[in-house]
Structure 1
Amino acid sequence: MGASLRVREDISQAATAEASGGARLLIHRQFHSRFLPDDRDITVYLPPGYEEEAPRRYPVLYMHDGQNLFDPRTSFVPGRTWQVHTTADALIEAGEVEPLIIVGVANTGERRLAEYTHIRDGKMGGGEADKYGKLLMQELLPFIHANYRTLTGPQNTGLGGSSLGGLVSLYLGLKYTAVYGRLAVHSPSLWWNHENILAFVDDRHRMARPRIWLDVGDAEGKRTLADADRLDRRLRAKGWRTGIDLHYERVEGGTHDEAAWAERVGPMLRFLFPATGADRK
């Protein structure tokens, strides 16, 4: 299939112990792609009840910067993660969020900027998001569908990340609306290459509208706030409806780091994957 599994193992006992209700974290080491030079680890969160409810299938949320999501030993800021698995466990068990699989795709360090940017910048380089998108769509999604009990289609497939990860989520999500129907866009780096992504949004015509969670902290700087405000206005001008398929939140005191994004995981999951009271078909 172009991507190979070299090792599949339970993540460390310490990390597994943080998950409640029988949820599991599994790691696929050194996932290989024919489109990009670097291998990367893939971490898969399985919701409470996954093992017991064998016939059931689940929607999937793919998230960038996977090493920052679950394990405090691998996070960019040591000891601080998004706590995605513990938050998802609590909300699923409370009946507030639909049980879902969450896939963390690790970044590759120095090449993170290249993979998460959709157009080359004259000074900073980058511009390999389309190759990264091929890794996701042509290699990782088929791999996850083959190895886990997933639901398919855009209504059951989400994409999300923060900073440059928010930028690439917005880009790939709007370019491939037949693949992604739910987008988590946290503190997006809309400044990239003179805010080119805003022109990209303007150029989208007669496309399907994925459900979008957009946020920014009011302590992230005036430019970041202004860019997020502009994106919100342009999405609404394109037909997105606040509270229906778009949620834009300016978080009071919110900063640009893992601790701040951890606080936004719960509200994001509630909006993108609300409990429906019945399984999706």
Structure 2
Amino acid sequence: MYYSTDFEMKIALQELTITSTILERDVICTLLMPEDGAVAEPLNLLLLNDGQELENLKMVDTLENLYERNCINPLLTVAIHAGEDRIQEYGIAGKPDFKKRGAKADLYTQFIKTELLPFITDHTGMDHFETTAFAGFSLGGLTAMDIAWNNPELFDKVGAFSASFWWRSKDLIKGYTDDDRLMHSMLKSTIGKPELKFWLQTGTKDETADRNKNGIIDSIDDTIDVIKELLAKGYERPADIQYLEVLGGTHDTETWGKAMPKFLQWAFGK
């Protein structure tokens, strides 16, 4: 059935600043929601790393388009802008990489749990969301995966766009093996199986690096290996794991923005 309507869903943007005691800085967050009065159903929540990239991701256009086509349920997106210390705040909590990057990832995790989520509850008056997802790009995707994996009581779903699953404890020239990849090791060593669902994306032109010279770029290899670890835990495809490989996709907001509708429909679709 095709029908036209005069009703147009507009997205309202609100920029808020949280003074974080934990990170010792002001954190800017952009909140995106359907305009007042448009939401009657239960609300969903998406936390998004690198929220400063909203415009480049064309996030507002994507959301309005999905609402107009009645593809997704009502959603509050909280886009967390990265600070100057992004390379230290993002990563895997408590496990900096071989260059000691990600040294504040544990603090960023604490910020999300003890400052941001309570702030969202206070600001919206809502202490329960139908589905809560955490997503990010590149290093922000690794971070979203780490935080959700270790806090499954807070999150239901993860979106990892071209995630930095190469993050490693040993330099390539210092006797590196695939066992030195920090995310894969963490997944393997976790006892039990967190209640989560995963959406992973790579682009065939994410990079040119190919550590093991198998003709497949590391971005894809590392992501496929994450999927293998998840399958070994007992997660199933496609029920628990979705993987999108974008032909010609590059490591940038243009590719991630084009992949975003697929993620949003997977996470919050009707």
Shorter chain as denominator, the TM-score bin is 0.7 to 0.9
Which residue, 44, 57, 65 being the options, matches 1:59?
44
Superposed, which structure 2 residues align to 1:1-281 within 5 Å? 21-29=9-17, 31-47=18-34, 50-53=35-38, 56-70=41-55, 81-109=56-84, 111-118=85-92, 119-148=95-124, 150=126, 152=128, 156-193=131-168, 194-221=180-207, 222-275=217-270
Deviations 1:73-116 (A, max 9, x none): xxxxxxxx11112111211221111110101000002x101111
Given that residues 39 and 74 in structure 2 are in contact (C-alpha distance below 8 angstroms), is that contact kept between their aligned partners in structure 1? Answer: no
Aligned partners of 2:264, 2:33: CA distance in 1, in Å? 15
Given that residues 96 and 274 in structure 1 are in contact (C-alpha distance below 8 angstroms), is that contact kept between their aligned partners in structure 2? Answer: yes
Aligned partners of 2:246, 2:161: CA distance in 1, in Å? 11
Structure 2-normalised TM-score? Answer: 0.84
Out of 55-64 and 158-167, give the one that drifted further: 55-64
Q: Please, which runs of 5 or more residues in structure 2 have no aligned partner?
A: 1-7, 169-179, 208-216
Aligned partners of 2:201, 2:100: CA distance in 1, in Å? 25
Aligned partners of 2:40, 2:137: CA distance in 1, in Å? 33
Q: Equivalent residue for 2:210?
A: none
Deviations 1:248-278 (A, max 9, x none): 1111111000101000100001111111xxx
Q: Deviation of residue 156 (structure 1)? A: 1.8
- Give the secondary-structure state (helix, strand or coil) at the position aligned to 1:180: coil
- RMSD over aligned CA atoms reads 1.7
Structure 1-normalised TM-score? Answer: 0.81
Aligned partners of 1:121, 1:144: CA distance in 2, in Å? 31
| Cα distance change on mapping 1:23 and 1:231 into 2, 3 Å | same
Length, aligned pairs only: 241
Displaced runs of 4 or more, over 3 A: 53-57
Aligned partners of 1:138, 1:207: CA distance in 2, in Å? 24
Given that residues 82 and 262 in structure 1 are in contact (C-alpha distance below 8 angstroms), is that contact kept between their aligned partners in structure 2? Answer: yes
Q: Deviation of residue 150 (structure 1)? A: 4.0
Q: Which has the higher strand share?
A: 2
Given that residues 193 and 233 in structure 2 are in contact (C-alpha distance below 8 angstroms), is that contact kept between their aligned partners in structure 1? Answer: no
Out of 121-130 and 243-252, give the one that drifted further: 121-130
| Cα distance change on mapping 1:115 and 1:94 into 2, 3 Å | same
**Structure 2 residue identity aligned to 1:224:** S
Q: Deviation of residue 127 (structure 1)? A: 2.6
| Cα distance change on mapping 1:271 and 1:56 into 2, 3 Å | closer
Q: Deviation of residue 122 (structure 1)? A: 3.6
Given that residues 59 and 151 in structure 1 are in contact (C-alpha distance below 8 angstroms), is that contact kept between their aligned partners in structure 2? Answer: no
Aligned partners of 2:132, 2:246: CA distance in 1, in Å? 26
Q: Deviation of residue 199 (structure 1)? A: 0.4
Aligned partners of 1:98, 1:56: CA distance in 2, in Å? 8
Given that residues 10 and 64 in structure 2 are in contact (C-alpha distance below 8 angstroms), is that contact kept between their aligned partners in structure 1? Answer: no
Q: Deviation of residue 225 (structure 1)? A: 1.2
Q: Please, which runs of 5 or more residues in structure 1 have no aligned partner?
A: 1-19, 71-80, 276-281
